[in-house]
Amino acid sequence: MTKQQFISELRAKLSGMPKADLEDSILYYRKKLDSITDNGYTEDAAAAQVGDTDEIVDGILCDYPLSKIVMEKLRSSRKLKAWEAVLLILGSPVWISLLIAVLAVVFSAYFIVCAVVVSMWVISASFEVVSLIVTAWSVLIVIRGEISTGIAVFGAGLFGVGFSILIFFGGSASTKGLRALTRKVLFSVKKRLVGIHQAPKPVHAVPADA
């Protein structure tokens, strides 16, 4: 892959980004390619060293603000033709209702998952506090001479501590999973808005027959 093919492919995959940010990214990788070729490497070797364009795009979009991509998409959208506008208006009672219903289902499911995760943390903290209190209470019971009862209460306190630790690890794993899912969904939305799936494949020269 030549430098121009690499830059063209990268530009196409980032075409949905704001122009200033797009040009900054292109300039950065153009200089990186030039730096490698200046050290005696071929353009193919330089492109290989810089990396796969899909991985580069993933790295750029990972922490890129979704709001900027959405604003750029809205700004660059073509104007609707008269008949398209009429169809949108006439069909608005249907598609707006469907859109609201879909969004309501998606957000409801997401908030339910969030509520479950938060509940796990609350339950874990509650069990931890109660278990510590019960454990301390068991010591007082033993001091009062009720040894068997104190041991039983102490065991219940230890069980509560163990159960709270178990829920803690479950809440921790759930939180990490929810965070990863959120990032994955947002990243997928970014890629679709930027138009990465429509990027052309690089064209390689076909050697002539001898």
The 8-class DSSP code of residue 14 comes to: T
Q: Residue 13's CB: how many other CB atoms inside 10 A?
A: 24
CA 70 to chain CA mean position, Å: 16
> What's the CA gap between 90 and 75, in Å, rounded?
24
User: Per-residue confidence of the chain (210 residues) as pLDDT tens digits?
Assistant: 788 889 998 888 887 788 888 889 899 999 999 999 988 888 889 888 888 888 888 888 887 787 777 776 666 666 666 776 677 777 778 878 888 898 899 889 889 989 989 998 998 899 889 988 998 888 888 888 888 888 998 898 888 888 888 888 988 998 998 888 888 888 887 777 776 444 444 444 444 443
Phi-psi region of 145 (alpha: psi -120 to 50; beta: other; left: phi over 0): left
